[in-house]
């Protein structure tokens, strides 16, 4: 009887150790966020999409207000994606994706993110960052320039989706 009890305790101990070893694996960080290049032609197609509504976020890695606003945009993406709003991130960094990767991974970005070349910024008059475009039926309905509060962006999105 003593041996059975001792074996049970040993087995329980071993199972506990294995479970503790496996615990970090179940909570491992997600892999890096995938950032793809987007051509000017592909961006034009996105803007001209007649079927979807977009919140397009322009930013750079060196822009402190951009980094500050990003958690709000992640939150708003979760809130509005079921209402048909597609959020797309766009980096204007010359050395993208290298500079954006650590920022987006740290914040656990939950929407697609792309790198574009300077031509897009010139063509669409991106004069400052952060800048948000609200795009519906192939038309830029609104440009929001500079860092804004969650309440302000939320209000603009609600009006846009009506």
Q: Can you give the residue ranges of every domain in the chain?
A: 35-161
Place of tokens 């800048």: 131
**CA-to-CA separations, 79 to 8, 52, 84, 140, 161, in angstroms, rounded:** 50, 17, 10, 21, 12
Residue 26 clears pLDDT 80, i.e. is over it: no
Q: Whole-angstrom Cα distance, residue 142 to residue 160?
A: 9
Residue 91 clears pLDDT 80, i.e. is over it: yes
Q: Which position has the higher pLDDT, 147 or 105?
A: 147
Q: Whole-angstrom Cα distance, residue 34 to residue 99?
A: 13
Residue 36 clears pLDDT 50, i.e. is over it: yes
Confidence band of 139 (pLDDT split at 50, 70, 90): very high
- Rounded to an integer, the average pLDDT of 6-27 is 44
Predicted local confidence at residue 7, as pLDDT: 57
* Chain centre to alpha carbon of residue 56: 11
DSSP H helical ranges for 27-149:
40-47, 64-80, 101-107, 118-123
Residue 21 clears pLDDT 50, i.e. is over it: no
pTM exceeding the 0.85 threshold for the entire prediction: no
Residue 122 clears pLDDT 60, i.e. is over it: yes
Q: What is the pLDDT of residues 74-85, one digit of tens each?
A: 999 999 999 999
In contact, 32 and 105? CB cutoff 8 Å:
yes
Predicted local confidence at residue 157, as pLDDT: 96
Predicted local confidence at residue 109, as pLDDT: 80
**CA-to-CA separations, 128 to 58, 92, 112, 113, 141, in angstroms, rounded:** 9, 11, 21, 18, 18
Domain 35-161, CATH homologous superfamily name and number? Glutaredoxin (3.40.30.10)
């Amino acid at each position: 009887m003593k041996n059975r009890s001792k074996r049970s305790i040993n087995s329980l101990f071993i199972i506990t150790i294995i479970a503790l070893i496996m615990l970090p694996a179940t909570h491992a960080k997600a892999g890096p966020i995938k950032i793809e290049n987007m051509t000017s032609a592909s961006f034009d197609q996105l803007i001209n999409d007649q079927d979807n509504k977009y919140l397009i976020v322009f930013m750079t890695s060196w822009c402190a207000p951009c980094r500050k606003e990003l958690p709000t945009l992640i939150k708003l993406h979760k809130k509005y994606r079921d209402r048909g709003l597609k959020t797309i991130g766009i980096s204007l960094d010359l050395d993208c994706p290298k500079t954006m990767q650590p920022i987006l991974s740290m914040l656990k970005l939950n929407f697609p993110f792309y790198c574009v070349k300077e031509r897009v910024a010139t063509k669409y008059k991106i004069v400052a960052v952060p800048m948000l475009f609200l795009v519906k039926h192939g038309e830029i309905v609104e440009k929001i320039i500079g860092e804004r509060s969650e309440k302000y962006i939320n209000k603009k999105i609600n009006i846009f989706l009506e």
